[in-house]
Amino acid sequence: MIICPDPDPAGVAIGAATATPTIRLSLDGLHIGWQGRAIVEPVSLELDFTALGRRLPILGRTGLGKSTLLLAIAGQKPPIGGRIRWSFPDGDVCDLGPEDWRRADELRRRRFGFAFQEAALLPHLTVLENLVLTLELSTRADRPASRGARVERAMEKLREVLIDGERVEAIGRRFAEQLSGGQKQRVALCQAMATDPDVLFADEPTGNLDPHTRREIAAVMDGWVRAAPGRVFVWVTHHHDREEFEGAEVALLLDRFEGERPDARLIPVEDLLRRSAGGRGRAAAEEARR
Amino acid sequence: MKRLAVALRLASIEFLRGGVMFWRPAPAGRDFGALTVLCAVLIGLTTLATSSGSALQRNLIQGMLGHVEGAGTPIWLLVHSSRLFLGPEQLAAFRNGGGFTAAHRPRDPNGPLAKLDFHPVVEVEPLDPYVRLPCATAGPESPCAAAIVWRERMGPGDPPMELRGWGIDRTNPLWFASGGPASGRTLVANAATFRKRFDYAAYRAGLAGGVPAPLLEALPERIDDVTDLHRLILSVRLHGNLRRLQLFDVTWVESLPGLQKVSLLVPLDVIAPAKLVYENENLTNLGPEDVDDEGGSGAVLRRITVYGATRAEVRRRLEAGGRDGLAEVAACLGRRSFGSNGPFRWSERGTDRVLELDGEVTWAVARACLARSGLAPDAGFDAVRPGFDFVDAPLAVAGRTATARCAAVRPSLLAQDTRGACADGGAEAAFTFSAFPDFRTGIVFVPDGLDLAEAIDAVTGQTLGGEPVVISSESYRDALGRISYARAVIAHLGSALALFGLVLVGVILLLQIAPTIERRRKNYGLLLARGMSRREVTAGILLQMGLAVILGAVVAAALTELTKAAFEGWFAGSQAARLAQSELGLLHPRLIPDVSLIGRLAHLGGATGLVLIAAIVAALWTIRRLPLRRSTAPIDLMVTQARVAEEAS
């Protein structure tokens, strides 16, 4: 089924590529920014997520536009210009641009899950109600049909992100204001993956967590991706740990040369880790000299 | 539709958890509770304001023209000078609206304007020949005791006020609104005027010695307030010039409404028979107490005879204890009302002693007096015997009609025979009390909610035989003109205030609604991010506004009723209320006169609608400014404008 029919003939050409059983993302001169002002050089990429290990971390220094880029490709924020094309293994193609942005509504309902950087729970609903609401709004075919099944699924997902000593029933009854920062972030992640979307986006999902919990969450996300062959995980992070990149082949790096707008490029994860280790070594030597 | 249902359910949950259930924790704040309270206050204030506007107009009318609960505003009308009186046919035609002229025919022939009823009134004056305060010490046609007991002028500043009464039918709303009983010898008295003008000590002193002792003893020796007086003795015409003193039960009301100061209401079934026997001296106005010593009805006590008064055993009885039993009985019976104007006297007929009574005293009263002197006939003493005459032309009263034998009715009165049976050779004439020659005045009650001017036009516009039936008095027309002007002024002021109030309600609501919605900006972004549409989010917000207004209306309804009750309680004890009761004739003065349930709901519904519209406009305006529009992306709502500006720079 084509959920975002596009009269553009170019769409047919790209649609032909969807015969391969993989999720593909094509960015064609994508301009992202705020209030009509681009903050990153136009991005043009062709991504086959199967080839990339179904994981794509987005990296870069603070303020370079990582989150903005993530929001754009996740259908949460329209680009200033250019096109975004998502192709799915079942043949669905969705072509998005600034003028036809409303097509993103159905993508969010059916294909995507998004864990926001800051707490993303409705404050007047309990944790469990927040999770169930996500399932209710989803239009995925495999969504639990009955309310009881939805509650069951929500509890199951919640259990996956809890740590030792946290009980599902107790956490599920709490409101957002009764959760710690780490709990909020884990529940937000849980909410994003509650529908088992095709693509799970997360904006710094481990940002507020201690190293131990971060590793646990990274393991949870890795397990979620591995659990089904069609799942893709795209996330923004500023942690350069091996655990963080577990399973990822490449990362999308936003970098800026002096006086220019940042641009985005793919970089192998191994290179990234090497550069990161070198950077840390140089910083340690500098510290020792001082 | 499914997502819309989810959105509405979600909005309801948020509303209920937003402080509306004040006894439960509110995890996301209590701003919906505050909004509901604000709506309740605004609806309540608007309802009170609109009610007060109507209340001002109604109080103006009631204050000037009077008001009877459940009936409306009484309009005093006079029978047009072209006719002497309203006969039964004219009244019936009047009530059926048969004589409306084309110019004044009500738009709705079955509407309330076409069904206004004319209630005849007989004015009862101090010198009334039919029913009046007793005149026990003077002649029949002099002011006698009335002038003594009714102090016409209290002081230099007090206007003179005559003892004025109205004879009205018991079906007259004024009668039952005053608490007048459905039957019995009874009257309704105005406590305010009696308190000012009625000298009870003089009244009782005037009666002492002139009234049979058993009757007098039914009255207390002294009273602290007129309302302590549960009975009054009035003089009622019995037959020709003959009058009889009768006890009336009194129902007190604080005052009686109308432009006239009315002190007494007397049922027509008491006045009309007295009037009939005055005009037709063949007839006798009998009551249920007119029974002989064996219980036979229609018997008038004419005399008491002591047979063989000179016999030793009789004398022993008459003079037992060294007293004069016959003199005691005469003294107990008091004075004659008419005729000799002196005390009752025994006359000698051989060895017998005879006391002529002529029906002025009933056997029950006479027997009580005889018993006090030990002369009542009993098994051991039969020298004293009553003499009865069976009345051959009694006026039999039943409800609102009296009947009499045709032969006893004067030809001039036969025209009033309701059934016309006498003219057809029948035996019995019937007189309906609501259609008598002297009924030249009457009242029409204009129900609340009807336009007074229109109602008066409809009533006075009726004609019978080409001539007007009734006219309104000059004073009413003048009062109505002034009221119309005052109402027009209030209406203009009301329009200006309503416009100002609308703006004020809108601004106040916006001040509460804008932060309530803006505080949830991020939540709406989250909902969009999860797949809810903008319309569904907007529908949820509008539902919350509706819930706040509806719940506010329920609270406001209770609040308004409680406030009204509190205001009424406060007003009831005020000088203004006392003035309304004692001077303006309002039986139940109210700050906000009662309106029907529909009227109250209309006020509440109007206020609720106004606040609902203002709330929706304020919400839509705020939603647009969030911005929650067609082009809005979820993230636009989830980051602050400052963050957007920072990112853009």
Which of B20, B526, B532, B640 is the best mutation test for A, with the most CBs of A within 10 A?
B526
Tell me the shortest Cα–Cα distance from B504 to chain A, in angstroms: 31
User: Do B376 and B514 lie in a common domain?
Assistant: no
Q: Is residue B166 pLDDT above 90, yes or no?
A: no
> What is the CATH T-level fold of the domain A1-111+239-290, as seen in this structure?
Rossmann fold (3.40.50)
Within 23-82 of A, beta carbons closer than 8 Å to B belong to 33-35, 37, 39, 68, 71, 76-78
3-state secondary structure at position B255? coil
- Please state, in angstroms and as integers, the Cα–Cα distance from residue A32 to each residue in A68, B7, B440, B531, following that order: 7, 31, 96, 22
Q: Mean pLDDT in chain B?
A: 81
Structural domain count of chain B: 2
B236-274 residue pLDDT tens: 888 877 888 889 999 998 878 766 678 889 998 888 888
- Of the candidates B211, B504, B457, B462, the residue with the CA atom closest to the CA atom of residue B331: B211
- Of the candidates B127, B83, B122, B144, the residue with the CA atom closest to the CA atom of residue B463: B83
Q: When comparing pLDDT for B415 and B281, which is higher?
A: B281
> Is B427 part of a structural domain of the chain?
no
Low-confidence ranges of chain A (pLDDT < 70): 1-20, 119, 208, 259, 278-290
The residue out of B390, B410, B441 marking a domain boundary is B390
Reported as half-sphere exposure (CB side, CA atoms, 13 A), residue B318 has a value of: 21
Chain A positions in Cβ-Cβ contact with residue B16 (cut-off 8 Å): none
- Please state, in angstroms and as integers, the Cα–Cα distance from residue A27 to each residue in A73, A95, A97, following that order: 8, 10, 10
Chain B positions in Cβ-Cβ contact with residue A101 (cut-off 8 Å): 631, 633
The residue out of B390, B419, B446 marking a domain boundary is B390
Q: Is residue B9 pLDDT above 90, yes or no?
A: yes
Work out the average pLDDT over B101-121. 65
Reported as half-sphere exposure (CB side, CA atoms, 13 A), residue B23 has a value of: 0
> Is B57 part of a structural domain of the chain?
yes
- Of the candidates B193, B128, B130, B113, the residue with the CA atom closest to the CA atom of residue B160: B193
> Is B318 part of a structural domain of the chain?
yes
CB contact under 8 A, B27 and A108: no
- Asked if B523 has any chain A CB less than 8 Å from its own CB, the reply is yes
Q: Is residue B506 pLDDT above 70, yes or no?
A: yes
Minimal Cβ distance to B6: which of A68, A121, A137: A137
B313 vs A228: CA distance, rounded Å: 135
Q: Is residue B367 pLDDT above 60, yes or no?
A: yes
3-state secondary structure B68-134: ECCCEEEEEEEECCCCCCCCHHHHHHHHCCCCECCCCCCCCCCCHHHHCCEEEEEEECCCCCCEECC
Q: Is residue B146 pLDDT above 80, yes or no?
A: no
> Is B283 part of a structural domain of the chain?
no
B573-606 residue pLDDT tens: 888 888 887 777 676 777 877 667 888 888 899 9
Residue B622 has a pLDDT of 95
Q: Is residue B486 pLDDT above 50, yes or no?
A: yes
Chain B positions in Cβ-Cβ contact with residue A122 (cut-off 8 Å): 10, 14, 523, 526-527
Strand partners, B348: B353
Domain ranges of chain A: 1-111+239-290
- Of the candidates B626, B391, B411, B648, the residue with the CA atom closest to the CA atom of residue B525: B626
> Is B221 part of a structural domain of the chain?
no
Say if CB A57 and CB A237 are below 8 A apart.
Answer: yes
Q: When comparing pLDDT for B475 and B363, which is higher?
A: B363
Question: Does pTM top 0.80 for this prediction?
Answer: no
Output the CA torsion sign for A89, A93, A94, A95. Answer: positive
Residue B513 has a pLDDT of 95
Strand partners, B465: none
Q: What is the dihedral of CA A274, A276, A280, A285, to 10 degrees?
A: 50
Q: When comparing pLDDT for B572 and B341, which is higher?
A: B572
B9 vs B16: CA distance, rounded Å: 11
Residue A18 has a pLDDT of 40
Beta strands A55-60 and A232-236: pairing type? parallel
Tell me the shortest Cα–Cα distance from B531 to chain A, in angstroms: 5
B194-221 residue pLDDT tens: 888 888 888 888 787 778 899 889 899 9
Q: Is residue B466 pLDDT above 90, yes or no?
A: no
Say if CB B614 and CB B502 are below 8 A apart.
Answer: yes
Residue B579 has a pLDDT of 81
Say if CB A240 and CB A278 are below 8 A apart.
Answer: no
Residue B377 has a pLDDT of 85
Residue B245 has a pLDDT of 84
Return the structure tokens found at B412: 């001039």
Under DSSP, the state recorded for B209 is T
Which of A62, A112, A136, A140 is the best mutation test for B, with the most CBs of B within 10 A?
A136
Minimal Cβ distance to B533: which of A39, A105, A122: A105
Supply the angle between the helices A181-192 and A211-227 in degrees, to the nearest 10: 10
Under DSSP, the state recorded for B160 is P
pLDDT above 70: percentage of residues in chain B: 84
Tell me the shortest Cα–Cα distance from B642 to chain A, in angstroms: 12
Chain B positions in Cβ-Cβ contact with residue A136 (cut-off 8 Å): 6
Tell me the ipTM for this assembly: 0.85
Say if CB B395 and CB B283 are below 8 A apart.
Answer: yes
Chain B positions in Cβ-Cβ contact with residue A174 (cut-off 8 Å): none
Residue B550 has a pLDDT of 96
Q: Exposed e or buried b for every residue in B586-602, given b needs 16+ CB within 10 A?
A: bbbbbbbbbbeeeebee
Q: Is residue B99 pLDDT above 60, yes or no?
A: no
Say if CB B72 and CB B587 are below 8 A apart.
Answer: no
Residues whose CB is less than 8 angstroms from the CB of residue A125 and which lie 6 or more positions away in sequence, other chains included: A133, A175, B10, B13
B549-564 residue pLDDT tens: 999 999 999 988 898 8
Give the domain extent around B321: 299-390
Of B51-65, B303-317, B609-623, the poorest mean pLDDT is in: B51-65
The residue out of B371, B390, B409 marking a domain boundary is B390
Chain B positions in Cβ-Cβ contact with residue A175 (cut-off 8 Å): 27-28
- Of the candidates A71, A88, A78, A76, the residue with the CA atom closest to the CA atom of residue A26: A88
> Is B26 part of a structural domain of the chain?
yes
Beta strands B242-253 and B231-239: pairing type? antiparallel
Residues whose CB is less than 8 angstroms from the CB of residue B310 and which lie 6 or more positions away in sequence, other chains included: B351
B374 vs B376: CA distance, rounded Å: 6
B527 vs B544: CA distance, rounded Å: 16
A10 vs A85: CA distance, rounded Å: 11
Q: Which residue intervals of B451-520 are DSSP H helices?
A: 452-460, 474-518
Work out the average pLDDT over B355-383. 86
- Residue A197, preceding bond cis, omega within 30 degrees? no
